[in-house]
Amino acid sequence: MNDPLVHGIVYSLLIVTVVLTATAMALWFERKFAARLQTRLGPTMVGPSGLLQPVADLLKLLQKEDIVPEKADPVIFNLVPPLAALTALGAAAVVPFSPTIVASDLDVGVLYVLAIGAVTVLPVFGAGWASNNKLALLGGMRAVAQSISYEVPLLLSAMVPVILSGSLRFGAIVQAQADHHWFVVWPFFIGIPAFAIFLLAMLAEANRIPFDIPEAESELVAGVTTEYTGMKFALFYMAEYIHTIVASAVGAALFLGGWDGPFWPGLHWMVLKTLLLFVTVYWIRWSLLRFRSDQLMGLCWKYLVPASVLLVGASAVWVVLT
């Protein structure tokens, strides 16, 4: 296990398996959770409490006819769905789930996560362009505009824990919080706003309501995924969930102290915190309406970007003073 290559392969497989299983469970959980918010029961028929619903969904999607529109660009059209799932999964490689369970604790882990996050927009835009569908094109256009804008506050707010801990390595960031305080606890006047901005930008990056304008099914039918059927659609769908789970884990590591916590082993705390963020994301999703695209840009450039610049400055000053 001391060989970094073996370590990387074993832990990558482990994390991929865990994240994909978590995605399936997240599907079930979200359906149940949304149903309770909406005075419904949600899935009840497939398995106990509908636990096997994701399996049934997957089987259904596997059986669907695979349609490539006649005028679509077949190469890009077929390439982007797996790419979407892969890029979303990529960020999980550097997230420390406990002091030892981490596939690869890169020296530039935060940078890597942000870079992978920036790449996730490419498959979405590719899908919008290659579908040769006007609704998909509009969706792709919105996705690019949104991702490029929200990249800025996401990056700046992620810089706050980097500056406070003095490292780009996830392990060191979590260790710094374990040694002193979680960044949302102290210095809370920097940590909490930065965490809020990170959460908002994360929602926007993962295309979740109130920022799901690239999909916007009441306006653009299904946005970029309009022309996709069967398993290709399922990959896009999974990518969204993977993105949300991984982003929750990153948020937990950066601001909520990662695996740090009393009594329980680190893995439990990390899973609990990730779950907490994940539920928050879905709670927001199922209770808010959607922004309009220009209002979305306004929120980003008028409020989030100046605020995050201020926070980066404040955290630098804080580090110098203490």
Partner 1 sequence: MTALQTVHITRRVDPHLSIDRYDPEGELMLLHFGPQHPSTHGVFRMDLYLDGERVVKVVPHVGYLHRAVEKLCETLAYVQITPIVDKNDYVAPMTNEQALNMAFEAALKLEVPRRARWMRTIFAEMQRIASHLLWLGTFALDLGGALGGGSTVFLHCFRERELVLDLFEEVTGARFHYNTHTLGGNRHDLPAGWSGRVRAALEIISSRLNEYEAMTLDNRIFLDRTIGVGKLDAELALELGITGPILRACGVDHDLRRDAPFHAYDEVKVNVVTAKGGDCLARAQVRLGEMRESVRLVREMVEGVPEGSINSGKPVKLPVQTKIPAGQVYVAIETPRGELGTYLVSDGTQFPYRLKIRPPSLHALSALPYIIPGGNVSDAVAILGSLDPIMGEVDR
Q: Would you tell me which residues interact with partner 1 (CB under 8 A)?
A: 34, 37-40, 134-135, 138, 141-142, 209-210, 212-213, 215-221, 285-295
By residue count, the chain amounts to: 322
The minimum distance between CB 281 and partner 1, in angstroms, equals 12
Contact between residue 153 and residue 194 where contact means Cβ atoms under 8 Å apart: no
The minimum distance between CB 259 and partner 1, in angstroms, equals 32
Q: Pick between residue 83 and residue 209 the one whose CB is nearest to partner 1.
A: 209
Q: Pick between residue 182 and residue 228 the one whose CB is nearest to partner 1.
A: 228
Q: Which residues neighbour 304 within 8 Å (Cβ) at sequence distance 6 or greater? A: 150, 152, 153, 197, 200, 201
The minimum distance between CB 76 and partner 1, in angstroms, equals 21
Distance CA(251)–CA(167), nearest Å, equals 16
The minimum distance between CB 43 and partner 1, in angstroms, equals 15
Q: Pick between residue 17 and residue 287 the one whose CB is nearest to partner 1.
A: 287
Q: Pick between residue 3 and residue 294 the one whose CB is nearest to partner 1.
A: 294
Q: Pick between residue 218 and residue 322 the one whose CB is nearest to partner 1.
A: 218
> Please, is 189 exposed, middle or buried when counting C-beta atoms within 10 Å of its C-beta (0-12, 13-18, 19+)?
exposed
Q: Pick between residue 213 and residue 271 the one whose CB is nearest to partner 1.
A: 213
Alpha helices (H) along the chain: 4-37, 53-63, 74-90, 109-119, 121-130, 134-165, 170-179, 188-205, 217-220, 230-255, 266-285, 293-298, 305-321
The minimum distance between CB 212 and partner 1, in angstroms, equals 7
Distance CA(267)–CA(146), nearest Å, equals 34
The minimum distance between CB 213 and partner 1, in angstroms, equals 8
Contact between residue 303 and residue 182 where contact means Cβ atoms under 8 Å apart: no
Distance CA(275)–CA(26), nearest Å, equals 10
